[in-house]
A = this chain, B = another copy of it.
Amino acid sequence: MNNFIHCIPTRICFGKGQISHLSELAQSGSKVLLVYGGGSIKKMGIYDKALEILQGAGLTVYELSGVQPNPRIESVREGAKLCKENAIDMVLAIGGGSTIDCAKAVAAAACYDGDAWDLVLNPGKIEAALPIYSVLTLSATGSEMDRFAVISDMSKNEKWGMGSEHLIPKMSVLDPTYTYSVSRRQTAAGTADIMSHTLENYFSPNDGFIQARFCEAILKTLIHYGPIALAEPDNYEARANLMWASSNAINGFVSDGYRVGWCVHPMEHELSAFYDITHGEGLAILTPHWMKHVLSDATVDKFYEYGINVWGLTPSEDRFAVAEEAISCTRDYFVNKLGIPATLADVGITDEENFQVMAEKAARGCRGCYVPLTPQDIVEIYRAAK
């Protein structure tokens, strides 16, 4: 186990009706920037409820709406400008990971004199941020309890993750009933995202016994409840377990002590940056091909353990057979249990023209990952996924 500093200070208010805790925002000042996407939070009544509580607590509410999936640097700039012009004290995101990521970047950019994109490229420049709060409406990225935000500049085909302790939310409301109306497709993509976060940690180049077991706990939860949430969108236990899995997959809990280097995420970020596809779908498409690519004498034991402990496969002396079966189970889960497209062609990526440049950029993000990947490896994985 590696040395680590563990600190997850976000206060989580979990369960039905916990939005009432938004009154606690008054602790951070009197002016709040409410960040959200489209009209769905209005349709669901969350917007009205939040305004009622915030105004009841004496807060003045400013708004940044229209945040898009793969949130754009333009929204961040707009939000930071609003904060500076109005001396806003805190940001509150209501939405999924994109909205929360945008709010985090706004909170940091509001405390920075230069252009917000500087902070995306160089998060070390983040020296402060406004207090960040969130109400989660989609279980996926874990942004509600972590230190990361992913921001895109589509004009440059750039999508980068930024991390800083200043980006950790102070408090997040996790009400599973808010995800009842999440579409089948977004539920599947979100579950794939949580799965991928967990797998990125699980396949670590060093040994962390308890961390691996915690990863398996999350993976088994996703395998059990993902399909139930698709079949019964208002199944509370399914939505609650997926929601709590999303937070714990990436908040540091399963990675602290591990030597973790992600690779499927950097590969997928290039797909989203170049083709604007749904992040979770890109991850689900790439993951089994990445697994096949890195399965070897050196990694077969880990894949064997994955097969036995996560998928409940029968122990066997043929460790490669179990490992390959585990990879098949993974693909089957994404495609047949969650109904996610199986190939890049299925999400509209039919050419190969950007693969080389994408692979070169992705390779930079893959440094330190489980099995080192060259740009050529990554091109092969993209091709296999076509």
Contact = CB atoms under 8 A, between A and B. Distances in A.
B245 A224 contact: no
B213 A220 contact: yes
A199 to B, nearest CB: 16
A364 interface: no
Interface stretch (A11-19, A67-75, A184-192, A320-328): A11-19
A237 B1 contact: yes
Contact of A11 (B6, B213, B214, B216): B6
Contacts of A16: 3
B9 A14 contact: no
A158 interface: no
Nearest to A221: B210
A195 interface: no
A5 B13 CA distance: 5
A217 B221 contact: no
B15 A4 contact: yes
| Residue from A3, A176, A217 with most neighbouring chain B CB atoms (10 Å) | A217
Contacts of A225: 209
Contacts of A218: 210, 213
A207 interface: yes
B240 A1 contact: yes
A18 B11 CA distance: 26
Interface in A193-248: 207, 209-210, 213-214, 216-218, 220-221, 224-225, 236-237, 240-241, 244-245, 248
Interface residues of A, number: 40
A256 interface: yes
A64 to B, nearest CB: 28
A51 interface: no
Interface string A347-361: 000000000000000
B12 A6 contact: yes
Nearest to A237: B1
A14 B5 contact: yes
A257 interface: yes
A178 B253 CA distance: 23
A180 to B, nearest CB: 15
Contacts of A237: 1, 207, 209
Nearest to A18: B3
Contacts of A213: 216-218, 220-221
A11 to B, nearest CB: 5
A11 B244 CA distance: 21
A304 to B, nearest CB: 15
| Residue from A17, A207, A210 with most neighbouring chain B CB atoms (10 Å) | A210
A175 to B, nearest CB: 9
Given A3-B17, A210-B218, A244-B257, 4 more contacts: A1-B14, A1-B176, A6-B11, A214-B217
Interface of A: 1-9, 11-18, 176, 207, 209-210, 213-214, 216-218, 220-221, 224-225, 236-237, 240-241, 244-245, 248, 253, 256-257
18 contacts: A1-B14, A1-B237, A1-B240, A1-B241, A1-B244, A4-B14, A4-B15, A7-B11, A9-B9, A14-B256, A209-B224, A209-B225, A209-B241, A213-B220, A213-B221, A214-B217, A216-B217, A217-B217
